[in-house]
Structure 1
Amino acid sequence: MRPIRPSSAERTGRRARRGVSPVLAALGLTAALALTATACGPGDSSADSKPTASATGDADKLQIPDDVKNQLKKHGIDLDKWKNGEWRNWDKATWLREAKDYVNPIIQDLWDPDRMRKADKPPEKAVPNDISGDKGVTDPTPAPVKAAAVKAPYHQSLPELGKLFFDSPEGSMVCSATVVKDPAHPGKSNMVWTAGHCVHAGAKGGWYRNIAFVPSYNNSNLPTAQLQKATKAQIAPYGVYWADWAQTSQQWIEGGGPTGGTGAPYDFAVLHVTPEKGSNGKSLEETVGGALPVDFDAPAVPKISAMTANGYPAAPPYDGQKLYQCKDKPGRLSLEANLPTMYRIGCTMTGGSSGGGWIATGSDGKPSLISNTSIGPVTAGWLAGPRLGKEAKGVYDSVSTKYAGR
C-alpha cells in the first residue's frame, strides 16, 4: 500500500484552476465524456493492439454530440487517435490533472478477460510501519488480522463489491470499489465508491485513463489456471461499467501521490458509471441487486465494535483474482496534528485492495460504508482509511446532484 510522509506544499493545480468556480474546484468536480469505440487485441497496455469496428458496426454509426467534440478539441484529444492508442501518451503536457479535466472515452472490449487478468499492479507503494506524526492521538499498532477468503459465489454475500481497472504511465493497474446508494435515484444507483489514488495520481500527476468497474469480478472464484481460458461472462458476470464521471477531493489532487502525502486523509473518490455495452434499462444497483448507504456521521472510534475491509489484494502473496476481507475493531491513526485522524485496523491485505469499502454498523444501526482502504505497510499487517466527513459528503452529493435529472 502507499507510504505516507509529509509532502511539500505543492500547488501546481491552482494555476490551472483560475476561472473555475471555487465551489466546483473544492469538490474536485470533473467533466463527463462517455464516448464509445471498439477494440481488440492483447490486454497489456504496452501491446500494440489496434481497435477495430465492432461486428454490429456501431462504431461507424456513433454520433458524437457537438459539445463533446468541442470538449475533446479543447483538451487536444482526437477520438480516433485516442481509441487507436493515443491514450498511451502520458506526456506531462497532455496528462489532464485538474478537477474539471477528467475524460474517459469508452473503448469497447479494451478490458477483455486476458487484459483484466494481467492487470495486477496496485497504484500505491508500501508504507513504513511507524508513520504516525501525532503520538498523542494515534492508538497502538493493531495486531495483524489474517485476511479471510470470501466464499464463492461472491455475489451472494457481497453483491456491492467489485474490482476497478485503469491505465497509468506504469501500465494497467487495479483497485477495489463498492456500489453505493444514490440519494437522487433510490434503488437505481449508478454510483461507485473507491479511493482517490485509484482515479488520480495526486500532486505530481493527473487523471488515470480507461477507468472501469467490474462488480463481482471472478464471482465463482475460478483458479488461476482456469482464468487463463475464462470467458468475459465468467470473469465479469454482471458486465463492465466505465466511469463517465469521476470526482475526488481537491486535497487529494493537491497533496496526494504514490508515496502518500497530505492528501491521504482525503483519499476517497466517487464514480458515476455507465455499462460498456449500453443500458438495458436497469441501473447498476438493480443489476447487482444492492448498494450500500454511505455514513458521513459514523460513531466515534471507541463506539465502533468492528469494521470489515473488503477488496481484491494483488501484491504478493495475493494475485488480485480473489476477494478477501478483514474484520477488526478500529483504532486511530494521525499522520500530522493538523490533518484529520484516519481509521486503522489489523489486516494482511496488500495493494489492490485499495478503494475497497469498509463496512460497519452506521449511525442508523444498519450496515453502511464508513471508509475505504487507503494506506498500509507490507509486513506489519494493518490498513488505514479516511474518516468520511464534510469533504467526502461534498464529493458524494455533487455526483448525485449532477445526475439527479437524468
Structure 2
Amino acid sequence: MRSTRMSAARARGRRRTVLAATGLVAALALTATACGGSGEDEASHKPDAAASRAADGNGGGKVTLPSDLADRLEEHGIDVDKWKDGGWKDWDRDKWLSEAQDFVNPVIEGLWEPERMRSAEEADKTVTTKDASAAQGLSEPEPVPVRAEAEKTPYHDNAAPVGKVFFDSPEGPAVCSGTVVKDVNHPGKSNLVWTAGHCVHAGGNGGWYRNLVFVPAYNDLGRSEAELGSASASEIAPYGNWWADWASTSNGWIQGGSESGGAGAAYDYAVLHVKPEQGGKSLEETVGAALDVDFSAPSAAAAGQMGAWGYPAAPPYNGLQMFKCLDAPGRFSLSADLPSMYRIGCTMTGGSSGGGWFRVLDGETVLVSNTSIGPTDNTWLAGPRLGEDAEAVYQNMSRTYGGR
C-alpha cells in the first residue's frame, strides 16, 4: 500500500482512477432499489450476555413491561414501578453495571422526537497523538486527508441502508451512524443493523447504553437545521424509528474499550436487532435494501478501495447530513499485541462513528468495517477488520434473535 505520503493532487488522481474501476458509489446507490480478530477474543454471544427484550411503550414517558423483563429488573434490585414511571431516565454511576444482562431497552413511544434527535451529541473516540504514534513501526504512514463529500439526496435513493443510531448515555442523548445488513438466516427479512461497539456499550469503565433506536435515511432530503423546523415526519425519518430489542458487541470491546478506543478499538463493532416503533414489515423489506457483511478480514493491501459513510456531528458538521469518504486503506495498529485495523484519509468527525465501510466484492457492495476511532485534527478514520470474532457476534444475533 502506501510507502510514502502522496501529494494531494496525486492522491486525488489515484482515487478517481480506482473509483472508476470499482464503481463503488454506483454499486452502493443500486442497493437502494435492489434488494480479523485475534481468535482469543470470543464474542459476547450467550443469550444472557448480549441483549434485552423490548416492551411496548404506552407514551407519556411510561412503559409497559412483559413479566420476564420485569422479573429481570427486580433481580437487579430495580423498583419496577419507579422504573416504569420514569426511573429509566436516571443513571446511578455507582450502580451502572457493566454486566451484559443489564442492557434493557423497552420501546418508549414519542421519546425520540425530532428536537431530541437534534440535541444528541456525537459519541466519538479520539485517539491522542501519543496513542497514534506508539506503534508507528506497525502502521503505514498517515494517509493524506480526504475531504468528506455530501451524499446526494434523497438518501433513500442513493444510500438507503445508511442511517443514524440514537441512544442515551449518562451524559445525555448521543448519536452514531449505522447500516442495514442482511440476515443470512432470514433472507430478505433482515432486522439487523451494524454499528460500533462504543455506540452500544461504554467499554471497560461502564455499561450498556439505553433507548437505542435506528433511523434509516435520516433527514432524507438533507435539509438544514432551519428547514427541519417545518419538515414532515416522513422527511426526517422516512422509514420510521426502529428500536433495538437486542444488541451484541465483542468481549474485546466490553473489556478493553476506553474513551480513546484503547485495546478494544480493534474489536469495536456491534450488531443490533431492531423492530419498528409501530408494527410493520422487517427493516430490510421496509427500506428495500440491506448489505452483506464481508468477514474475510482482507489485509489493507488486498482490500482495495473503500468508502466510509456516516453522519458527522462534531464541528464543522452538525449531524444533519450524510457524508462519505473514498480512499484506499492503509494498515493501522495501536499495539503489537492487537490486530491491525484499516485506516483511510477522511475529514468526517464524531457522529460518523459506527458508520459502515464498504467495498466492492465480486461486483456487489459489501460492508467490510465501521468507523471506530480518529485523531483530534480529524484527518483520518480507522476501523476494525472483521474476522471470525465479528462473524460470531453476527451469527449469534441472527440465529438466536433474527426470527423474532
TM-score bracket, normalised by the shorter chain, equals 0.7 to 0.9
Q: 1:274 to 1:197 in 2, by over 3 A?
A: same
**d(CA) in 1 for partners of 2:169 and 2:306?**
31
Corresponding residue SS for 1:393: helix
Q: 1:380 to 1:324 in 2, by over 3 A?
A: closer
Deviations 1:204-256 (A, max 9, x none): 11001111000000001111101123333221110001100010001111110
Determine if contact 1:301/1:332 at 8 Å carries over to the other structure: yes
Q: 1:310 to 1:129 in 2, by over 3 A?
A: farther
Determine if contact 1:112/1:232 at 8 Å carries over to the other structure: no
The farther-off stretch of 80-89 and 170-179 is: 80-89
Determine if contact 1:88/1:169 at 8 Å carries over to the other structure: no
In structure 2, the partner of 1:108 is 109
**d(CA) in 2 for partners of 1:367 and 1:164?**
22
Counterpart of 2:252, as a letter, is Q
Q: Do residues 33 (structure 1) and 32 (structure 2) align? A: no
Determine if contact 1:38/1:110 at 8 Å carries over to the other structure: no
Determine if contact 1:265/1:387 at 8 Å carries over to the other structure: yes
Q: What displacement does 1:348 show?
A: 0.1
Whose helix proportion is higher, 1 or 2? 2
In structure 2, the partner of 1:269 is 270
Corresponding residue SS for 2:243: strand
**d(CA) in 1 for partners of 2:81 and 2:109?**
13
**d(CA) in 1 for partners of 2:289 and 2:151?**
17
**What root-mean-square deviation, in Å, do the aligned CA atoms of Structure 1 and Structure 2 show?**
2.1
**Runs (5+) with no aligned partner, structure 1:** 1-21, 41-50, 53-58
Q: Do residues 313 (structure 1) and 308 (structure 2) align? A: no
Counterpart of 1:171, as a letter, is G
**d(CA) in 2 for partners of 1:122 and 1:377?**
14
Counterpart of 2:104, as a letter, is V
Q: What displacement does 1:334 show?
A: 1.0
Q: 1:370 aligns with which of 368, 371, 387?
A: 368
Q: What displacement does 1:88 show?
A: 2.7
Determine if contact 1:122/1:315 at 8 Å carries over to the other structure: no
Q: 1:284 to 1:141 in 2, by over 3 A?
A: same
In structure 1, the partner of 2:394 is 396
Counterpart of 1:307, as a letter, is M
**d(CA) in 2 for partners of 1:314 and 1:188?**
31
Count of aligned pairs = 363
Q: 1:204 to 1:38 in 2, by over 3 A?
A: same
In structure 2, the partner of 1:203 is 204
**Runs (5+) with no aligned partner, structure 2:** 1-40
Determine if contact 2:131/2:334 at 8 Å carries over to the other structure: no
The residue correspondences of 1:131-280 to structure 2 (distance < 5 A) are 131-277=132-278, 279-280=279-280
Q: 1:270 to 1:404 in 2, by over 3 A?
A: closer
TM-score by length of 1: 0.84
The farther-off stretch of 202-211 and 223-232 is: 223-232
Identity fraction in percent: 55
Counterpart of 2:366, as a letter, is S
Deviations 1:335-391 (A, max 9, x none): 1001000000000000000000000023x4421000000000132510000000111
Determine if contact 1:195/1:269 at 8 Å carries over to the other structure: yes
The residue correspondences of 1:266-345 to structure 2 (distance < 5 A) are 266-277=267-278, 279-280=279-280, 282-345=281-344
Q: 1:318 to 1:253 in 2, by over 3 A?
A: same
TM-score by length of 2: 0.85
Counterpart of 2:153, as a letter, is A
Determine if contact 2:179/2:355 at 8 Å carries over to the other structure: yes
